[in-house]
Chains A and B, each alone.
Chain A
């Protein structure tokens, strides 16, 4: 009897999970399908789901119009670069806040988060002027710097919460054995926090990959990442849905594949030791 109930529940849970999963995934699927339609089919109503003349002309068009590889490399450099630099800064600072907090630690954390509360456009002009004066406009370096700064509060917060769960006694033991501060962080803390660091890393790469405001505004021709590539295919007057979908598919594919691959690692990392 008990088994029957659990099977039923399993079915219900599975159906619910699949429904939610498909609902969430549907926009991406729709974008993917639209990218293989002609412009006329893309706006047709009622739309056809699978039964249309599949065509790759949008991909040809996008390839011939834009330098996809340049935008792709810019996105890779900017998102990976900013996340790695962010981690290098954030690990020591999260360590400090988690293991040797002071009276003001909570306030400092809140203050860091508060920098995310201001709308970005409010500081666009001063940032633009600073970038202009330092020659950083339309450079990958400039974008790495700005994305590092933008995502730093999130990285520190995430790492801080992960580090908080690691018992301080282990670090104390390492210190008793004569580990220096840097060794303590590199050889003791970091390996234990790998799952946390890995998920922080992935989340921030995705955030940086998708960041559209600063990457669009501070780049022009040379450093423009995939966000600018997508923005060049939308239009208020004209048919563009199919081409835009093709461009979007090409822009999200790399990060989607990365997500799929690292998902296994992440889940294993996150659940590792959970049964002990």
Chain B
């Protein structure tokens, strides 16, 4: 009896000490396909690192953003690793909220990261977040409809060509629309597209002295062009269409062209979901001959909040999730087409990947063509292609987006929309102290 008690006690003590040694990492992440796939593959990591356990908090993008921002601003310490976008990284790094990732291991090969993506995550020469997957924007078009209309899409089209083609393809009686673009108001919705497109038209959010530029002719050109094009060749109710709505329209064969995130390429070419899977072609985002294309740059990245107690384990995990071996792991288990795109040069040199992903070259070219440090034709004081990396931009972008969405819906004129965008941006920027 005594011996049994003793043995039981010893066993539970051993078990307890085993538990005590295991360190639990809490990881906050967004709900998208690549992240969910990673959660399913973590056994590979935990079997290599039995002393580390993982706990996931998966949330919708906007909920996650609010959640992690609250936590990091108050030093709440709820998360050991956070998934954040390229918008947050420069702002948070400057605030001293993130730890630089100096110890990702010898075989991590930082130089293999795509230069455009890496530069957006590097502040004062230090990498503050590791990219998990990256994306740009490009034109997706229906090869069959172009053929029927006698058109040939160049690899690098101009906006004039796109507009012309869109109007030719449109057949409203048969619910076929030449072009589907974002119209739903929001800094990450229509303003992501319009800010990037405005770059191609020579417009910019602010001049070198942070003065808003919506009263300049470039913005009027860009917005006028967009509203007219959408009225002539866009689907009805476009002012409430975001990524998912356009995806649905394109997949059901109602759009001739769609300019949006490169990640959409894998959706529209998936025969399980898309009725036009075998008819889709890709091209670079259009320009107007001014030297900038309206293609944005975004990446979801893993970062460690400053003050974290579990830095070593967190670094191990980040090195695993964003390393080269992880790409191989996904390829082995789920095929090359499902590998998270847009982070490593070596992936695009891999012939197996090129074969499995017909959109690989266009994705790489689009990412390489984006320059977050010099996004516009004229000089700007900010970083970011489809956003302005200042804390005020979320509010500003959404407020301006509402004006532009109203202009698209015909509730106000383009001139009025621009005037009120100028006024509200001036007011906020003065209040925030940028304009003295």
Contact = CB atoms under 8 A, between A and B. Distances in A.
A128 B74 contact: yes
Interface string B31-72: 111001001000000000000000111111111001100110
Given A125-B70, A237-B263, A238-B32, A224 B57 contact: yes
Contacts of B247: 43, 239
A234 B243 CA distance: 13
Given A237-B243, A239-B267, A221 B70 contact: no
A147 B369 CA distance: 50
Provide the main secondary structure of the chain B interface: mixed
B83 to A, nearest CB: 13
A40 B67 contact: no
A167 interface: no
A235 interface: yes
B94 interface: no
Contact of A40 (B60, B79, B188, B273): B273
Contact of B62 (A217, A220, A236): A236
Contacts of B36: 65
Contacts of A221: 26, 55-57
A79 B4 CA distance: 43
A238 B62 CA distance: 14
Contacts of B75: 132
B28 interface: yes
Contacts of A239: 244, 247, 267, 273
Contacts of A40: 251, 272-274
Interface string B219-256: 00000000000000000000000111001100110000
A237 B67 CA distance: 19
B76 A236 contact: no
B174 to A, nearest CB: 14
A65 B31 CA distance: 11
Contacts of A228: 57, 59
A229 to B, nearest CB: 9
A231 interface: yes
Given A65-B39, A125-B70, A236 B78 contact: no
B74 A45 contact: no
A238 B244 contact: yes
Interface string B173-187: 000000000000000
Most-contacted residue by chain B among A138, A235, A237 (CB, 10 A):
A237
Given A221-B55, A235-B60, A238-B32, A128 B70 contact: yes
B77 interface: yes
Nearest to B70: A128
Interface residues of A, number: 31
Nearest to A233: B31
A229 B384 CA distance: 32
B261 interface: yes
Given A232-B59, A237-B244, A239-B244, A125 B73 contact: yes
B198 interface: no
A138 B78 contact: yes
B30 interface: yes
B67 A217 contact: yes
A216 B76 contact: no
A236 B70 contact: no
Given A65-B39, A236-B242, A220 B60 contact: no
A238 B248 contact: no
Interface string A204-234: 0000000000001100111010001001111
Contact of A231 (B55, B60, B264): B60
Given A137-B76, A217-B66, A224-B57, 7 more contacts: A43-B251, A124-B70, A128-B76, A220-B78, A220-B79, A221-B26, A233-B60
18 contacts: A40-B274, A43-B248, A45-B248, A125-B73, A125-B74, A128-B74, A132-B75, A216-B59, A220-B79, A221-B55, A222-B55, A228-B59, A231-B63, A232-B31, A232-B59, A235-B32, A236-B188, A238-B267
